[in-house]
Amino acid sequence: MMAGNSSRAALLLTRQLRDLNKSSADGFSAGLVSEDDPFRWAVTILGPPETPFEGGLFRAELVFPTDYPMSPPRMKFLPPIPWHPNVYRNGEVCISILHPPGDDPHGYEMAGERWSPVHTVESILLSVISMLASPNDESPANIDAAKEWREQPEAYRKRVRIIVRQTLEEA
């Protein structure tokens, strides 16, 4: 049973990668970390225009479960984006569509905001770009970044601009 799910997930991921690389999606690129593992993807996201993240190159990894698309992948920025309300200090992305399907045990999200098998890698990456542009400070992964974003937007912007410069030096 598990092998069947795993091979179906691998075929779906292979197709999604092919489709993604054929399309002219702006703001990101994706590929496999290793050609023999369709469950681990390397992605690069461009900082969205007209945001403090503009011009940055942010690398991340998507790790898909063997029952994808029934369960969401995990996404982690490498190196971590150290200052964003919706990114844990270790780089893990915290957005609704990457949370398991169903009701939120903490009551912050409606079931319709969480993972659904209709999501694709493209919809995930577009959601992450949107998250970079406009953080959700209602249930932050990084409380200090959320507080600064809300209470001291200019200080937040300055700190993020430094991070953006660092991403370009590492590229």
8 A C-beta contact, residue 145 and residue 156: yes
How far is residue 13's CA from residue 19's CA, in Å, rounded to a whole number? 10
Q: Which of 94, 124, 129, 164 is catalytic?
A: 94
How far is residue 127's CA from residue 7's CA, in Å, rounded to a whole number? 27
Tokens of 9: 């997930």
8 A C-beta contact, residue 113 and residue 97: yes
Give me the residues paired with residue 40 across strands.
63
Tokens of 6: 């795993």
Tokens of 142: 């990084």
Identify whether 94 is a catalytic site residue: yes
The pairing of strands 28-34 and 74-77 is unpaired
Catalytic residue numbers read 94
